[in-house]
Amino acid sequence: MDAIVYTSETGHTKAYAEILGNKTSIPVFEIKEAKRKLPKDAKIIYMGWLFASSIKGYKKAAKRYAVSAVVGVGLCPTGEMMREVRQAISLPESTPLFTMQGGMDHAKLRGINRFMINMLVKMLSKKERTPEEDAMLSLIKRGGYFVDEKNTEAFIKWYEDTTSDKM
Ligand SMILES: Cc1cc2nc3c(=O)[nH]c(=O)nc-3n(C[C@H](O)[C@H](O)[C@H](O)COP(=O)(O)O)c2cc1C
């Protein structure tokens, strides 16, 4: 594996990228830095934040690099939203996908993202909600920081299994 490449708006994905970099010893690059430092077709793990069920920056990363696994960092609990996300980014079944719970930092949200989250709160507040939507609405409103090493366990297991296969 050549690198972990990530996109982060308010820092949660960056924090997970650093945790995974430390645990695996794979170099970590923010996506713009990666463009300068990594060759095209480098073998990477791509990490981005969840945005309306898709993963920010994935499409661009997949055009340029050989993506071996994808991590989506969102507000949803770790390990959830997998089917929706895979569908939203048309990720092949053969590429492993992980979701990790990041958080919601209202103070760091700017511009269009702040606007969109406010719209989502308004929309969800008005409608009849499923239990999942209800949980999501209160998480969005409350905000919080949920980055935790234990949310990386499934990824680390996958990584150790794939690397030990090659020995
Ligand atoms: C406009 C917008 C849309 C979002 N859509 C989703 C979503 O579909 N699913 C989810 O779990 N989280 C969603 N989130 C929450 C972010 O993915 C979450 O705050 C994440 O931790 C941000 O990562 P970052 O700090 O690396 O930017 C959304 C946030 C914003 C601002």
In this prediction, residue 1 carries a pLDDT of: 87
Give yes or no for residue 102 CB within 6 A of ligand 1: yes
Amino acid at 33: E
Q: Where are the domains of the chain?
A: 3-105+145-162, 106-142
Tell me how long the chain is.
167
- ∠ CA 107-120-92, nearest 5°, is 100
In this prediction, residue 132 carries a pLDDT of: 87
- ∠ CA 15-43-12, nearest 5°, is 10
Judge whether residue 167 has pLDDT over 90.
Answer: no
Give yes or no for residue 77 CB within 6 A of ligand 1: no
Asked if CATH classification 3.40.50.300 holds for the domain at 3-105+145-162, the reply, yes or no, is no
Amino acid at 28: V
In this prediction, residue 164 carries a pLDDT of: 83
Average of per-residue pLDDT values in the chain: 95
What average pLDDT does range 41-58 have in this prediction? Answer: 97
CA 31 to CA 61: how far, in whole Å? 8
Cα(62) to centroid(ligand 1), Å = 20
Strand pairing class (3-6; 28-30): parallel
Ligand 1 atom with the shortest distance to the CA of 54:
8
**pTM of the predicted protein model:** 0.96
CA 56 to CA 73: how far, in whole Å? 10
* Residue position matching structure tokens 């794939």: 162
**Tens-place pLDDT, residues 82-129:** 999 999 999 999 999 999 999 999 999 999 999 999 999 999 999 999
What average pLDDT does range 42-58 have in this prediction? Answer: 97
Give yes or no for residue 76 CB within 6 A of ligand 1: yes
Residue 129's φ and ψ, nearest 5 degrees, are: -105, 145
Cα(158) to centroid(ligand 1), Å = 24
In this prediction, residue 165 carries a pLDDT of: 67
Judge whether residue 11 has pLDDT over 80.
Answer: yes
**Tens-place pLDDT, residues 63-74:** 999 999 999 999
Cα(75) to centroid(ligand 1), Å = 6
Give yes or no for residue 99 CB within 6 A of ligand 1: no
Ligand 1 atom with the shortest distance to the CA of 14:
26
Judge whether residue 21 has pLDDT over 70.
Answer: yes
Judge whether residue 29 has pLDDT over 90.
Answer: yes
CA 4 to CA 21: how far, in whole Å? 7
What average pLDDT does range 19-31 have in this prediction? Answer: 98
